[in-house]
C-alpha cells in the first residue's frame, strides 16, 4: 500500500455504508470489535449501521438497523457479551428470510457487511453473498426495489471476524473471546484449588468446547492439572487404570489435591462420550477419594473482556473496515484474523471448510488428522501437556547432566510457571536440576539447592518470584560464580528475567575469555512487565501487568463518568519502553498515551488539551491519558497534570494516578502461565541438546555464540537467537530494542480516540491462503 493510497484512507469510505452485526453465541471482546468498526468506518467517511439481534435484525429490518455515531460506542470497550445483541435465527436459513434481509440493506444503500460470530454465522454470510444478484433480480421483479437501487447495490462485500470462546476456527490463532473465557476458568480453578487443598479433594472441572478442546487444554497447562480429556485426542483404551495410577502417584508425591479438566465434548476412542460424572464415579469407586464435580457453564462467556481480547477485537475491527472498503466484486469473502501477532486476511470459505474437516475427521475417528488440522500451536500445547502430566519422572539414578535455573531482574508474574516447567522437563530428561536464589548474587554466594519434582508443585498460578530475584549483574563476581559452577558441577544455565538477564548473558559471553568455567550453554527466557528484552515480541509477565492496568483504568473511567468533565492522567511502568502505556491505551480506550519512542513537544500537548476541550462538548465528558514513566524527563506526570489543570480551568478537572508496583504483582494471567510453561519446556529441550553438543574430553566446553541465546517469540514462532547477535538491535542507554513491532498499532489508538491522522503507519494485511500459511506445519 503506497503513501498516496494511505492518504486516501480518510476518504476511502465516502459514499459507502457498512453494517455490523454479531451473531451466534456471544463472546467477550465483540464490543471492542464493534466499536472499532464504527469509529474507523466513520473516520474513512463511511456511514455505519448497527444491526441489532444478529441476522434476525437483518431480516426484520425496521428499528433493528440503526445508524451509529462516534459517541454511541463510548464505554463499550470494557463490557462483556455483545451490546447490540445476538440471536439464533431460523428465518435467515430460508431463502425468503435472506430476500427480506437483502431488501432491508438495499433500501438503506448498505453494500458492506461485517459479521462477528462463529463458523455457522460466517457460512451464512457467504451464502448470502453468493445469492446476492439473484436476490436483487427477484426483488426488482416483485417491484420492491427500483432498477436504479439494484445497480447501486450491485454487489455485496463481506468480512468476517471470528468471535467464539472455543477457539475452534481454523486459520486463526486466537478467536475473540477465547482469552477472556480462559480468565474466567482460571479464576475459578484458582479458587477451587484453595478449597481442594484444605480437604485433600479431587475436583473434576467441566469446561465448554463441544468440538474443540482448546479451553480444556490450555486450562490444564495453566493450572498443572493431572489429566485433561479433549475431543481431538481421546485417551488410550485402558485409560481408567492409567488415570487412577496417575492420581495416586500425585498424592504419594505429597500433593493434597487432584484436578481433572474435561471438555464438554470429551469422548473415548469409540466415540462414546466421557462425562464429568463418569470420571467422578470412577475415582470414587477405585480410589475412594473425596471427589467433586464443577460444571462451569455460561460463566465462561461472561465478565469483562481481558486486555488481549480488547486489543484483538480493536485490531480486527480496523482491519475489517479496510478489507471491506478495498473489496471489489472479485475479492472472495474474507476473515480477518491473527497469526502470531500479525493481522492476516484469509478466504472465509477455506477456513470454514477446514473447520468442517476437523469435525469430519473426528466423526470418522481420524484423531491424528484432527489434531494436525487444528494447527501448530494446538499441537505444541498438547505435546507440553503430555510431557508434564503423563511422563513419569525417571527413578533417581546417576543424573545425566546438571542444569541450574535462576531469576534475574524485577519480579514478573509467570516467572514461577517458567521455573516449574524448566525444573520438571529437566527431571523428566533425567537431569539433576538446581535452583539458584536471588539471581547472579545468589550464584556468587552459593545460594543453590537441588530441586525435586514436588519442589515446584503448585507454582504455576503464583505471582512474583519464589526463587527471589535481583538486578545484580555477574561481571563483578565472576571468580565466585566460576568457583560455584565448578563446586556444584553446573553444566547449563537457564536465566529467567528481564533486561538484566539479557545484559547478564552478554557479560557471561565476555567472561568466557577469562574463565573457562563460564563456557557452559545458557539460555535467557524474557520475563519482565516492561516487554523490553531484545529478541522477543512478548515477555512473560507483560500480559498480567497489562490486565492490571486495564482493570484500574476501567474503574477510573467509571469514576470519571459519574463526576463528568474530568480527565485522568495515569502513569504506567515500563522504563523507557512504551509497550504498557500503548497497549493499555488501546485496551482501555485512552485519549492519548505519551511514550519515549514517539517524541512529543509542547505543541502536541497543546493539541491534546484542545482535543479534550472539544470532547467535553460531546456526551462523553471524560478523558483518560496514559504516560509512560520515562517518556520525557522534563514533561513529567506532574508537569502534564499541572498543564492540563491550568488549560482545562472551567472546562474540566484533572486528576493523576501513579500505578507503581502493583503492576509487578498479582496472579499470572492464563496467557502468561501458558507462555511461561511452553518457554520453560522449549528452553530445557534446547539445553539438553546443547550440553550433549558441547561435550569435549569428559567435560562441557561451550564457546560458540550459539551456546548463549535468548529464546523469544518472533511473529509466529519461538526462536533461539545468540545474545551477541542481538547486540546490534539494542539501544543500551534506554534499555529497549531498536525496533519494536507494536509501534505500528499506535495510529489505531489515535484514530479510535478521534484524531485526524493518516493511516500510513498502520499495519496492512494482504490476503493469504491457509495452505500456504501453514507451510512448515502439517500439510493439508
User: Known binding site: residues?
Assistant: 25, 88-89, 118-121, 164-166, 201, 208-210, 264, 292, 298-301, 471, 528-532, 566, 573-575, 629, 655, 661-664, 735
In the three-class reduction of DSSP (H, G, I as helix; E, B as strand; rest coil), residue 402 is classed as strand
Q: Known binding site for beta-D-fructose 2,6-bisphosphate: residues?
A: 471, 528-532, 566, 573-575, 629, 655, 661-664, 735
Contact 678, 384 (CB under 8 A): yes
The three three-digit cell numbers of residue 508, written as one number: 557471561
CA distance 513 to 501: 20
C-beta of residue 113 within 8 angstroms of C-beta of residue 158: yes
Q: What angle do CA 451, 455, 456 make, to 5 degrees?
A: 105
- Among residues 166, 309, 543, 672, the one annotated as catalytic is 166
Confirm if 53 and 20 have CB atoms less than 8 A apart. Answer: no
Alpha-carbon torsion, ordered 136, 138, 140, 141, to 10 deg: 160
Q: Using alpha carbons only, what angle is made at residue 67 by residues 64 and 70, rounded to the nearest 5 degrees?
A: 130
Residues that constitute the known binding site for Mg(2+): 119
C-alpha pair distances (Å), 639 with each of 145, 236, 643, 645: 61, 65, 6, 10
Angle at 477 between CA 439 and CA 734, to 5 degrees: 65
Q: In a 3-state reduction of DSSP, which class is residue 500?
A: helix
The 3-state DSSP class for residue 115 equals: strand
Residues tagged in the binding site annotation for substrate: 164-166, 201, 208-210, 264, 292, 298-301
Please count the other Cβ atoms lying within 10 Å of the Cβ belonging to residue 739: 9
Query: Cell 462538548 maps to which residue?
Result: 617
Q: Which residues contact 364 (CB under 8 A, 6 or more apart)?
A: none
Quick one: which of 79, 74, 30, 77 has its CA closest to 561? 74
CA–CA separation, 328 and 156 (whole Å):
9
- At a CB cut-off of 8 Å and minimum separation 6, what does 40 contact? 317, 318, 321, 322, 751, 752
φ and ψ at residue 702, rounded to 5 degrees: -115, 115
Residue 212 backbone dihedrals phi, psi, to 5 degrees? -135, 130
Q: What is the grid cell recorded at 374?
A: 487444528
Interaxial angle between packed helices 670-693 and 542-563, expressed in degrees from 0 to 180 and rounded to the nearest 10: 160
Helix (H) or strand (E) holding 511: helix 499-511
Residue with cell 438495499: 106
Q: Report CA-CA distances (Å) from 550 to 26, 236, 603, 640.
A: 22, 43, 28, 21
Backbone angles phi, psi at 388, to 5 degrees: -75, -30
Pairing of strands 622-628, 592-594: parallel
User: Is 368 among the residues known to form the active site?
Assistant: no
Binding residues for ATP are 25, 88-89, 118-121
- List Cβ neighbours of 649 (8 Å cut-off, separation of 6 or more): none
- Residues with a catalytic annotation lie at 166
Amino acid at each position: 500500500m503506497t503513501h498516496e493510497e494511505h492518504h486516501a484512507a480518510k476518504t476511502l469510505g465516502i459514499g459507502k455504508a457498512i453494517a455490523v452485526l454479531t451473531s451466534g453465541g456471544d463472546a467477550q471482546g465483540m464490543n471492542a470489535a464493534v466499536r472499532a468498526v464504527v469509529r474507523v468506518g466513520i473516520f474513512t467517511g463511511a456511514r455505519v449501521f448497527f444491526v441489532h439481534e444478529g441476522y434476525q435484525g437483518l431480516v426484520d429490518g425496521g428499528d433493528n438497523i440503526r445508524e451509529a455515531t462516534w459517541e454511541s460506542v463510548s464505554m463499550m470497550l470494557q463490557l462483556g457479551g455483545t451490546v447490540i445483541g445476538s440471536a439464533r435465527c431460523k428465518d435467515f436459513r430460508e431463502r425468503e428470510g435472506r430476500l427480506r434481509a437483502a431488501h432491508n440493506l438495499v433500501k438503506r444503500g448498505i453494500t458492506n457487511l461485517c459479521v462477528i460470530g462463529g463458523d455457522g454465522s460466517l457460512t451464512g454470510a457467504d451464502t448470502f453473498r453468493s445469492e446476492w444478484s439473484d436476490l436483487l433480480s427477484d426483488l426488482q421483479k416483485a417491484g420492491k426495489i427500483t432498477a436504479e437501487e439494484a445497480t447501486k447495490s450491485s454487489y455485496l462485500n463481506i468480512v468476517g471476524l471470528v468471535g467464539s470462546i472455543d477457539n475452534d476456527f481454523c486459520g486463526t490463532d486466537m478467536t475473540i473471546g477465547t482469552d477472556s473465557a480462559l480468565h474466567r476458568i482460571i479464576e475459578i480453578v484458582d479458587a477451587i484449588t484453595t478449597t481442594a487443598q484444605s480437604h485433600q479433594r479431587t475436583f473434576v472441572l467441566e469446561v465448554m468446547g463441544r468440538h474443540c478442546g482448546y479451553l480444556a487444554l490450555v486450562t490444564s497447562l495453566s493450572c498443572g492439572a493431572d489429566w485433561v480429556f479433549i475431543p481431538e485426542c481421546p485417551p488410550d483404551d485402558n485409560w481408567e487404570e492409567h488415570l487412577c495410577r496417575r492420581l495416586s502417584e500425585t498424592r504419594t508425591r505429597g500433593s493434597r489435591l487432584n484436578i481433572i479438566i474435561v471438555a464438554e465434548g470429551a469422548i473415548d476412542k469409540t466415540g462414546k462420550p466421557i462425562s464429568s460424572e463418569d470420571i467422578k464415579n470412577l475415582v470414587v469407586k477405585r480410589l475412594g477419594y473425596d471427589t467433586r464435580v464443577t460444571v462451569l457453564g455460561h460463566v465462561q462467556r461472561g465478565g469483562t473482556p481481558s486486555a488481549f481480547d480488547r486489543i484483538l477485537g480493536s485490531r480486527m475491527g480496523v482491519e475489517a473496515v479496510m478489507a471491506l472498503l478495498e473489496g471489489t466484486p472479485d475479492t472472495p469473502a474474507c476473515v480477518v484474523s491473527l497469526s502470531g501477532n500479525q493481522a492476516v486476511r484469509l478466504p472465509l470459505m477455506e477456513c470454514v471448510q477446514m473447520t468442517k474437516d476437523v469435525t469430519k475427521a473426528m466423526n470418522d475417528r481420524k484423531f491424528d488428522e484432527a489434531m494436525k488440522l487444528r494447527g501448530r500451536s494446538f499441537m505444541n500445547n498438547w505435546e507440553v501437556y503430555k510431557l508434564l502430566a503423563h511422563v513419569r519422572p525417571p527413578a533417581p539414578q546417576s543424573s545425566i547432566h546438571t542444569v541450574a535455573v535462576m531469576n534475574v531482574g524485577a519480579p514478573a508474574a509467570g516467572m514461577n510457571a517458567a521455573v516449574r516447567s524448566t525444573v520438571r522437563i529437566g527431571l523428566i530428561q533425567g537431569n539433576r536440576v538446581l535452583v539458584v536464589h536471588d539471581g547472579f548474587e545468589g550464584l556468587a554466594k552459593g545460594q543453590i539447592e537441588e530441586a525435586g519434582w514436588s519442589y515446584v508443585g503448585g507454582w504455576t498460578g503464583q505471582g512474583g518470584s519464589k526463587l527471589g530475584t535481583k538486578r545484580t549483574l555477574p561481571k563483578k563476581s565472576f571468580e565466585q560464580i566460576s568457583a560455584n559452577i565448578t563446586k556444584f558441577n553446573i553444566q547449563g544455565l537457564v536465566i529467567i528475567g528481564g533486561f538484566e538477564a539479557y545484559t547478564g548473558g552478554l557479560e557471561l559471553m565476555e567472561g568466557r575469555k577469562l574463565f573457562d568455567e563460564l563456557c557452559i550453554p545458557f539460555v535467557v527466557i524474557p520475563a519482565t512487565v516492561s516487554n523490553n528484552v531484545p529478541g522477543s515480541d512478548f515477555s512473560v509477565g507483560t500480559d498480567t501487568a497489562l490486565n492490571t492496568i486495564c482493570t484500574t483504568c476501567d474503574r477510573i473511567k467509571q469514576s470519571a463518568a459519574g463526576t463528568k468533565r474530568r480527565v485522568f492522567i495515569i502513569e504506567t511502568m515500563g522504563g523507557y519502553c512504551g509497550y504498557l502505556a500503548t497497549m493499555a491505551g488501546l485496551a482501555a480506550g485512552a485519549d492519548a498515551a505519551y511514550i519515549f519512542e514517539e517524541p512529543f513537544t509542547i505543541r502536541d500537548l497543546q493539541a491534546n488539551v484542545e482535543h479534550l476541550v472539544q470532547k467535553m462538548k460531546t456526551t462523553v465528558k471524560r478523558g483518560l491519558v496514559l504516560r509512560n514513566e520515562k517518556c520525557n524527563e522534563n514533561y513529567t506526570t506532574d508537569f502534564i497534570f499541572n498543564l492540563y489543570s491550568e488549560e482545562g480551568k472551567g472546562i474540566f478537572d484533572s486528576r493523576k494516578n501513579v500505578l507503581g508496583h502493583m503492576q509487578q504483582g498479582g496472579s499470572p494471567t492464563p496467557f502468561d502461565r501458558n507462555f511461561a510453561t511452553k518457554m520453560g519446556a522449549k528452553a530445557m529441550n534446547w539445553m539438553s541438546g546443547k550440553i550433549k553438543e558441547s561435550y569435549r574430553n569428559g567435560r562441557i566446553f561451550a564457546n560458540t555464540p550459539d551456546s548463549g541465546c535468548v529464546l523469544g517469540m518472533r511473529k509466529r514462532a519461538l526462536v533461539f537467537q545468540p545474545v551477541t547477535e542481538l547486540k546490534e538491535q539494542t539501544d543500551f542507554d534506554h534499555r529497549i530494542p531498536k525496533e519494536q513491532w507494536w509501534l505500528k498499532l499506535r495510529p489505531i489508538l489515535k484514530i479510535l480516540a478521534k484524531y485526524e491522522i493518516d493511516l500510513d503507519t498502520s499495519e496492512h494485511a494482504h490476503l493469504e491462503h491457509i495452505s500456504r500459511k501453514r507451510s512448515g506445519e502439517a500439510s493439508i
